């Protein structure tokens, strides 16, 4: 019964109705008083780029992912801060309407970690209490300090993120982006079992469940209960735990722990959004997050988001993954700005299939959303971020120019439901992914 209650009360485990339609009708969107945050004719870029000719060719109106705040270079922190302010001012002058600050929830970065021993301790720890690295930055270190995964339940790392949010929005940006907001709840990568997470989990169990309910879950003595010891005794390594979790093998209380971490992540996201709104004195300050593929485990705290800015697989499920993302966004009443994932961009970079990218762009606007300009998109090689994709401007810019020059074809229209597909998030969490098959058939 306790486990069933936990499943029922999860904030993001709702049944969604996804609308599939290509029929459009006029709406009140075009009226200034009802203008949406993101317009259907907007052009979104991942970040600002200094190649003026290319920037002017695309003419983005949105910097969707935004500026990172903690990467080293051959300049001092103050010089870098001034450079970011200057670039933000330039973006506005170049016609950009929405400029985001990017808050990396995953790591403080090796650079910042090397300067702050306290942050080096505020990291995600595996089932054997060993610190975990960000796998796509395993090759990145600074002064011998690797890129540790930050624990979003650790008070030191939480304070670091709050300071980063306050600093980021003080530069003059008018939107905030989180990448990604799961933080310590990323269980399919090992999750966090540090002292702060496991202690908070024990306190959560004490507050929520009765003694008989705890006994039903296998907890005989809540005062001495340590979930890390329970899971650590079952698996010889974090890799073994990861495999079991991904394969949905039986793990004691994993759904309860998962729900606990997701609720914590959602609450903290709202707390960080509150920091931005207080600093800017704007209660409507726009918040977005990377909700990868619009999968249930990434869609945490969606009630606190104003839009989705995310990576989506474009080469899986017969190319239907982005369509799924567009229609999920419609069902939730929010706009989505997306890009392909870093592996997809690697396939494009080394395969040279620009026609495929043109199709991705056209599809996004046909569904009333945005595909980011294919310029300075990150590329993974062997699961490591190593380079960028710099798409040929002469091929891609004209389609965005067409959109900008024909706003009346897009703005002020809404999709009308013709077919509805009802599915349950819990099915996807259990590996039952038939909803993508339905999309493909339709």
C-beta separation of 376 from 46 below 8 A: yes
Domain that holds residue 88: 2-441
Closest CA to 46 of 404, 403, 391, 401: 391
Q: Residue 136 pLDDT > 90, yes or no?
A: no
CATH code for the domain in which residue 166 is found = 3.20.20.80
* Cα(18)–Cα(32) distance, integer angstroms: 28
Q: Span 18-37, mean pLDDT?
A: 56
Q: What is the pLDDT of residue 206?
A: 97
C-beta separation of 369 from 43 below 8 A: no
For the chain, the straight-line distance linking the first and the last C-alpha, in angstroms and rounded, comes to 38
Closest CA to 192 of 135, 247, 154: 154
Per-residue pLDDT tens over the stretch 234-270: 999 999 999 999 888 999 999 999 999 999 999 999 9
Provide the percentage of residues in the chain whose pLDDT is more than 70: 84
Q: What is the pLDDT of residue 431?
A: 65
Q: Which residues pair with 335 in a beta bridge?
A: 307
- pLDDT, greater one: 190 or 433: 190
Q: Residue 14 pLDDT > 80, yes or no?
A: no
Q: Residue 33 pLDDT > 80, yes or no?
A: no
Per-residue pLDDT tens over the stretch 266-287: 999 999 999 999 999 999 999 9
Closest CA to 241 of 154, 128, 150: 128
Q: Which residues pair with 162 in a beta bridge?
A: none
Q: What is the pLDDT of residue 7?
A: 38
- Reduce the secondary structure of the chain to three states and give it as a string: CHHHHHHHCCCCCCEEEEEECCEEEECHHHCHHHCCCCCCCCCEECCCCCCHHHHHHHCCCEEEEEECCCCCCCCCHHHHHHHHHHHHHHHHHCCCCEEEEEEECCCCCHHHHHHCHHHHHCECECCCCCECECHHHCCCEECCEECECECCCCHHHHHHHHHHHHHHHHCCCCEEEEECCCHHHCHHHCCCCCHHHHHHHHHHHHHHCCHHHHHHCCCCCHHHCCHHHHHHCCCCCHHHHHHHHHCCCCCCCHHHHHHHHHHHHHHHHHHHHHHHHHHHCCCCCCEEECCHHHCCCCCCCHHHCCEEEEEECCCCHHHCHHHHHHHHHHHHCCEEEEEECHHHHHHHHHHCCHHHHHHHHHHHHHCCCEECCCEEEEEEECCEEEEEEECCHHHHHHHHHHHHHCHHHCCCEEEECCEEEEEEHHHHHCCCCHHHHHHHHC
- What's the angle, vertex CA 127, arms to CA 121 and CA 132, rounded to 5? 45
Q: What is the pLDDT of residue 251?
A: 95
- Give me the chain's average pLDDT, please: 87
**What's the distance, CA 355 to chain centroid?**
27
In this structure, of 1-5, 320-324, 394-398, the range with the lowest mean pLDDT score is 1-5
Domain count, the chain: 1
Confidence of residue 425 (pLDDT cuts 50, 70, 90): low
Q: What is the dihedral of CA 118, 120, 126, 127, to 10 degrees?
A: -40
In this structure, of 26-40, 41-55, 84-98, the range with the lowest mean pLDDT score is 26-40
Q: Which residues pair with 28 in a beta bridge?
A: none
* Cα(94)–Cα(96) distance, integer angstroms: 6
Six-digit token pair at 376? 């300075």
Per-residue pLDDT tens over the stretch 377-422: 989 877 666 688 999 999 999 999 999 999 999 998 887 767 677 7
Contacts of 78 (CB under 8 A, 6+ apart): none
């Amino acid at each position: 019964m306790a486990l069933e209650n936990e499943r029922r009360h999860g904030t993001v485990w709702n049944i969604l109705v996804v609308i599939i339609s290509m029929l459009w009708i006029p709406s009140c969107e075009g009226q200034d008083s009802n203008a949406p945050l993101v317009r259907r004719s907007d052009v979104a870029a991942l970040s600002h780029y200094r190649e003026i000719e290319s920037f002017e060719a695309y003419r983005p109106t949105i910097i969707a992912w935004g500026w990172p705040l903690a990467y080293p270079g051959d300049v001092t922190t103050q010089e870098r801060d001034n450079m970011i302010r200057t670039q933000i001012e330039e973006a506005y002058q170049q016609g950009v309407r929405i400029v985001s600050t990017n808050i990396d929830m995953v790591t403080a970065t090796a650079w910042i970690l090397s300067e702050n021993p306290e942050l080096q301790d505020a990291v995600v720890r595996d089932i054997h209490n060993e610190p975990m690295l960000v796998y796509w930055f395993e090759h990145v270190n600074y002064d011998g300090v690797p890129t540790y995964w930050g624990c979003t339940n650790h008070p030191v790392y939480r304070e670091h993120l709050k300071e980063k949010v306050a600093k980021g929005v003080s530069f003059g940006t008018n939107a905030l982006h989180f990448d990604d907001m799961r933080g310590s709840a990323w269980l399919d990568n090992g999750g966090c079992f540090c002292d702060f997470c496991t202690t908070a989990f024990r306190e959560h169990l004490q507050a929520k469940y009765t003694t008989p309910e705890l006994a039903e879950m296998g907890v005989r003595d809540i005062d001495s209960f340590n979930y890390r010891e329970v899971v650590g005794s079952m698996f010889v390594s974090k890799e073994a735990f990861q495999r079991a979790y991904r394969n949905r093998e039986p793990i004691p209380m994993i759904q309860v722990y998962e729900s606990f971490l997701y609720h914590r992540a959602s609450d903290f996201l709202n707390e960080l959004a509150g920091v931005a709104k207080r600093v800017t004195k704007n209660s409507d300050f726009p918040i977005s997050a990377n909700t990868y593929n619009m999968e249930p485990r990434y869609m945490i705290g969606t009630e606190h988001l104003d839009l989705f800015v995310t990576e989506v697989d474009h080469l899986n499920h017969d190319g239907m993954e982005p369509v799924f993302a567009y229609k999920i966004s419609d069902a939730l009443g929010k706009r989505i700005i997306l890009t392909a994932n870093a592996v997809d961009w690697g396939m494009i970079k080394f395969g040279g299939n620009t026609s495929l990218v043109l199709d991705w762009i056209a599809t996004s606007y046909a569904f009333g959303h945005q595909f980011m300009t294919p310029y300075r998109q990150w590329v993974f090689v062997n699961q490591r971020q190593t380079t960028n994709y710099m798409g040929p401007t002469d091929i891609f810019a004209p389609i965005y120019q067409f959109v900008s020059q024909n706003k009346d074809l897009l703005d002020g229209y809404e999709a009308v439901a013709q077919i509805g597909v009802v599915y349950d998030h819990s099915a996807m969490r259990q590996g039952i992914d038939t909803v993508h098959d339905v999309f493909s058939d339709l």
